[in-house]
Amino acid sequence: MDPNASRRLEVFSLWLKTLPSDVRAMAALLTPREPEPVRVYVASALTYLTRNLDLIPDGIEGIGYLDDAFVIRTASALAVEQFGVGSPSALRRLAQDNDVVKAFLGPEYARFRTYVTGLRDYVSKGRTAVQVAANEELSKGIAAEAVEWCGEYKESPLKKDPAELERLGNFLRSKLSLVRG
């Protein structure tokens, strides 16, 4: 059994509880006063969340929203890497959690990072995250959709069973096997 299983279950359960507030914090960053790298990665994560690009379908009890929490943290880490110490505090806080994602995914993290990086170029509703980040009206639209998503979010508690981590890992490995990275 994974010696970190109980700690991971605690952390991932907390992420499911805080997902709406984390999403709202990211949506608040989608403004022209934030630098472009921040806006692009925030737009990427919010597009992932609101456009059903899920690596794990949201309806899967317990683990269905964890991929969303992982994407938010990895996108935050990518933005902080590009922009540096001047990154907004909400982004830095989420980026710090990316070490947990990296440790959980192990060798699959490289593919996951490639997947999250590629979200910037994913076309949704005829636009990429780069285009959304460059346009204030489009940015407001995706931010509003993300806040609306928060109102509809229904937490599905994660079972305190290490088998849930195995199930989560199996889902992600299966989907990430299709990503070149």
* pLDDT value, residue 1: 56
CB under 8 Å to 18, separation ≥6 — which residues? none
Q: What percent of the chain has pLDDT over 70?
A: 98
Count of domains forming the chain? 1
* Residue 180 included in any domain: no
Q: What is the pTM of this model?
A: 0.95
Does residue 30 carry a pLDDT above 70?
Answer: yes
> What mean pLDDT is reported for the chain?
92
Examine residue 179 and state whether it is found in any structural domain, yes or no: no
Which tens digit of pLDDT belongs to each residue from 120-163? 999 988 899 999 999 999 999 999 999 999 999 999 999 999 99
Residue 105: CB partners within 8 Å, gap ≥ 6?
A: 112, 169, 172, 176
> What domain range includes position 58?
5-173
